[in-house]
Chain A
Amino acid sequence: KNEVEQSPQNLTAQEGEFITINCSYSVGISALHWLQQHPGGGIVSLFMLSSGKKKHGRLIATINIQEKHSSLHITASHPRDSAVYICAVRKETSGSRLTFGEGTQLTVNP
């Protein structure tokens, strides 16, 4: 079983919908990252969390350390949000290294 599991694997939404992508992990962590991979392949970091909630524009990321779970929410989704969203954790025992989930492919239709 992967140490980092994302759900769903694929998600299709209509423009304007509220979207939630989930990430569960089975190890102790010092931080959790959400990344976005554009259709052209480039990867950018969206959030880094160790507790609570962070917001940037229409994106909100939350983490519950006790439940080993994080969610990424997108409000008022837009076709330009179509991308792969990747959850990654920094394990307590692995220094700077990240362990990645397989990603969630999001498609937002106009």
Chain B
Amino acid sequence: DAGITQSPRHKVTETGTPVTLRCHQTENHRYMYWYRQDPGHGLRLIHYSYGVKDTDKGEVSDGYSVSRSKTEDFLLTLESATSSQTSVYFCAISPGRKGAGETQYFGPGTRLLVL
């Protein structure tokens, strides 16, 4: 299994509070991704990174920010959590070699409940 961990694995927070989720990898992969998974929507990309300090928005980026200061860590921050951000959050990584069709490897997920 690819070495990907997410922390925390579960979190309950209140509306309006800031929340940071961490994704840590030991594979030295170039690309890292944050997804959210909700019933009826499947996995949706929030933000992704293609290198240290290089990030870009996905399809559901509003209300989220990310940072990648070193290869192994990709942080997702909810500046002011809202109930609509209650979800399961997955981190994924891929090697970033040239050419299409790379496999993505997923972390175990973080369940976030915003009350």
Contact = CB atoms under 8 A, between A and B. Distances in A.
Contacts, number: 51
Interface residues of A, number: 21
B64 interface: no
Contacts of A100: 42-44
Interface stretch (A12-20, A37-45, A64-72, A75-83): A37-45
**Interface band, chain B:** 20 to 34
Contacts of A45: 103-105
Nearest to B39: A102
Given A43-B90, A96-B31, A101 B42 contact: yes
The 4 closest A-B CB pairs, nearest first, are A31-B101, A30-B100, A43-B106, A102-B42
Interface of B: 31, 33, 40-45, 48, 50, 58, 88, 90, 94, 96, 100-106, 108-109
